[in-house]
Amino acid sequence: MTRSLQQVIDPAKKVFLIAHVDPDGDTIGSTLALAHALGKRGKKCTLACSDPVPSLLSFLPGVEKFGVPQVTDHDLIITVDLSDPGRLGRAYEHVLELSLPVVNIDHHITNPMFGTVNLVRSDAAATAEIIFDLLSDWGIALDQLMATYLLTGIVTDTRSFSTSNTTPRVLEVASELMGKGASVTEINESYYRSKGAGTLRLWGRMLDRMELDGRIIWSVNTLEMRRECRADSDNGIVNLLGTVREALAAVVFREHEGHRIEISMRSRPGVDISSVAVHFGGGGHPQAAGAMLDGNLEQVIPRVLSRTREVLDSAD
Ligand code: AMP
Ligand code: MN
Ligand code: MN
Judge if the beta carbon of residue 264 lies within 6 A of ligand 1. yes
Listed residues 172, 191, 210: the one ending a domain: 191
Whether residues 142 and 46 share a domain: the answer is yes
Judge if the beta carbon of residue 292 lies within 6 A of ligand 1. yes
Q: Measured in angstroms, how far is the CA atom of residue 199 from the centroid of ligand 2?
A: 20
Question: Relative to the alpha carbon of 109, which ligand is closest?
Answer: 1
Judge if the beta carbon of residue 291 lies within 6 A of ligand 1. yes
Whether residues 135 and 242 share a domain: the answer is no
pLDDT of residue 234: 95
Rounded Cα distance between 48 and 214, Å, is 42
Residues in Cβ contact with 131 at an 8 Å cutoff, skipping those fewer than 6 apart? 30, 33, 34, 37, 80, 105, 150, 153
Query: How many domains are contained in the chain?
Result: 2
Q: Which atom of ligand 1 is nearest to the CA of 265?
A: 2
Q: Which domain holds residue 247?
A: 197-315
Whether residues 162 and 39 share a domain: the answer is yes
Whether residues 50 and 121 share a domain: the answer is yes
Q: Measured in angstroms, how far is the CA atom of residue 287 from the centroid of ligand 2?
A: 14
User: What CATH number did the domain enclosing 174 receive?
Assistant: 3.90.1640.10
Listed residues 191, 209, 233: the one ending a domain: 191
pLDDT of residue 316: 76
Rounded Cα distance between 29 and 37, Å, is 12
Judge if the beta carbon of residue 235 lies within 6 A of ligand 1. no
Question: Relative to the alpha carbon of 150, which ligand is closest?
Answer: 3
Residue 292 has pLDDT above 80, yes or no: yes
User: What CATH number did the domain enclosing 206 receive?
Assistant: 3.10.310.30
Judge if the beta carbon of residue 37 lies within 6 A of ligand 1. no
Residue 305 exposure: Cα atoms within 13 Å on the Cβ side: 19
Determine the residue of 264, 266, 275, 300 to mutate for testing ligand 1's pocket, defined as the one with the most ligand atoms within 8 A of the Cβ atom. Answer: 264
Whether residues 120 and 245 share a domain: the answer is no
pLDDT of residue 2: 67
Q: Which amino acid is at 181?
A: G
Determine the residue of 21, 80, 108, 272 to mutate for testing ligand 1's pocket, defined as the one with the most ligand atoms within 8 A of the Cβ atom. Answer: 108
Q: Measured in angstroms, how far is the CA atom of residue 20 from the centroid of ligand 2?
A: 7
Share of the chain above pLDDT 70, in %: 99
Residue 225 has pLDDT above 70, yes or no: yes
Q: Which amino acid is at 287?
A: Q
Q: Which amino acid is at 63?
A: V
> Using an 8 Å Cβ cutoff, are 223 and 255 in contact?
yes
pLDDT of residue 159: 95
Q: Which atom of ligand 1 is nearest to the CA of 264?
A: 2
Whether residues 254 and 176 share a domain: the answer is no
| CA proximity to 2, closest of 85, 84, 105 | 105
For residue 179, name the pLDDT band (cuts at 50, 70, 90).
Answer: very high
Whether residues 173 and 241 share a domain: the answer is no
What predicted TM-score, i.e. pTM, was given to this entire model?
0.94
Whether residues 118 and 257 share a domain: the answer is no
pLDDT of residue 315: 83
For residue 59, name the pLDDT band (cuts at 50, 70, 90).
Answer: very high
Whether residues 209 and 140 share a domain: the answer is no
Torsion of CA 47, 50, 56, 60, to 10 degrees: 0
Q: Measured in angstroms, how far is the CA atom of residue 157 from the centroid of ligand 3?
A: 6
Q: Measured in angstroms, how far is the CA atom of residue 175 from the centroid of ligand 2?
A: 22
Across residues 182-190, what is the average pLDDT? 97
pLDDT of residue 147: 98
- Which residues on neighbouring strands pair with residue 76, listed in sequence order? 15
For the stretch 288-313, what's the b/e string if a residue is b when 16 or more beta carbons lie within 10 angstroms of its beta carbon?
bbbbbbeeeeeebbeebbeebbebbe
pLDDT tens for 262-279 read 999 999 999 999 999 999
Across residues 4-23, what is the average pLDDT? 96
> Using an 8 Å Cβ cutoff, are 71 and 16 in contact?
yes
Whether residues 168 and 234 share a domain: the answer is no
Listed residues 191, 210, 238: the one ending a domain: 191
Whether residues 164 and 287 share a domain: the answer is no
Residue 200 has pLDDT above 80, yes or no: yes
Whether residues 55 and 104 share a domain: the answer is yes
